[in-house]
Structure 1
Amino acid sequence: MPKTVATLLESAILWFLARLALVVVFVSSGLAKLIDFEGGLREMRGAGLEPAVFFNVATITVLLGGSLLVLLDRAAWLGAAVLSGFLLLTILIVHTFWNQSGGQAQVSLFFALEHVSVVGGLLAVAIASHRKHRDGGAGSR
């Protein structure tokens, strides 16, 4: 590997930007549900989740809390686990492609596959964070 690439990959700034890129979808969704609380309630009710207030507050907490742990690289494994659990639950509750047909089934399948891919990214961050902390590498805290 070229030295410049290795230096870039060991950069604390790139490590932060990678974590930020991974959680931006969770942060934006959590903030949207917080800022437009009524919209979040409609979303929960649309998914059949009652009491909607409880599920909206729980979702906001999971999305923002998990993202914060990943972003701060403090217990990133826990943040990654919480966000991964959230994604897997949304597949089972919302993106039930196996119970749908036609175009809706295809859209739900694509969302489910995307969620699985993001879970892979979250696992990679948890592994990398653990190794950085264990080895005292650049960018570790």
Structure 2
Amino acid sequence: MPSAIAQLLDRRWFPPLARLILTFCFWGSGLAKLADFETATAEMAYFGFSPPALVAALVIAVQLVGSALVVLDRAAWLGAGILATFTGLTILLVHDFWAMTGPDATAHFHTATEHVTVIGAMMVAALLSRRTRAARPTSAPRPTAA
């Protein structure tokens, strides 16, 4: 690996930036939905979810909480799992290309395949978080009461 790349990867700010960019599609969507809750509710109604306002609120919570866990590297495995599960459910519930025909089927198929890649990225994020934590020196053991 070229030393310039290695130096970049070793910078303290690089992993948080990478996690922020990785989760952009989730926290960006969550913030947009939060800023325009009426449109978020209409989107949920369009896809047939009921009650749409409750589903919109849950989607916002999942997107923002899952993203925060990954970005802050606090229970990143859980945040990545939440976001991966959410993404998988969107394939099943929203991008059901197998039930469509024509250009809509093609467009939703491509979106679904991109979502599979995002699920893989969340798996890698969880794995890297675990390995990074395992490699950190542990703190001294706490004294036990006698």
TM above 0.5: yes
Give the aligned partner of residue 104 of structure 1: 104
State how far apart, in whole Å, the 2-side matches of 1:80 and 1:99 are: 28
Corresponding residue of 2:118: 118
Q: Does 1:47 align with 2:47?
A: yes
Instruction: Determine which structure has more spread, i.e. the larger CA radius of gyration.
Output: 2
Q: Which has the higher contact order (CA 8 A, sep 6+)?
A: 1
**Structure 1 runs (4+) greater than 4 angstroms displaced:** none
Rounded Cα–Cα distance in structure 2 between residues aligned with 1:18 and 1:119: 16
Which whole-Å CA distance do the structure 1 matches of 2:106 and 2:96 have between them?
A: 10
Q: d(CA) in 1 for partners of 2:53 and 2:71?
A: 27
The aligned counterpart of 1:134 is 134
| Unaligned 5+ runs, structure 2 | 138-146
Report % sequence identity: 45
Matched position secondary structure for 2:103? helix
RMSD: 1.2
Q: TM-score scaled to structure 2, two decimals?
A: 0.90
TM-score normalised by length of structure 1: 0.93
- CA–CA distance in 1 between the matches of 2:92 and 2:67? 22
Paired residues for 1:1-141 under 5 Å: 1-136=1-136
Write 1 or 2 for the structure with the bigger share of helix: 1
* Counterpart in the other structure of 2:144: none
Give the CA deviation at 1:79.
0.4
SS in 2 for 1:12: coil
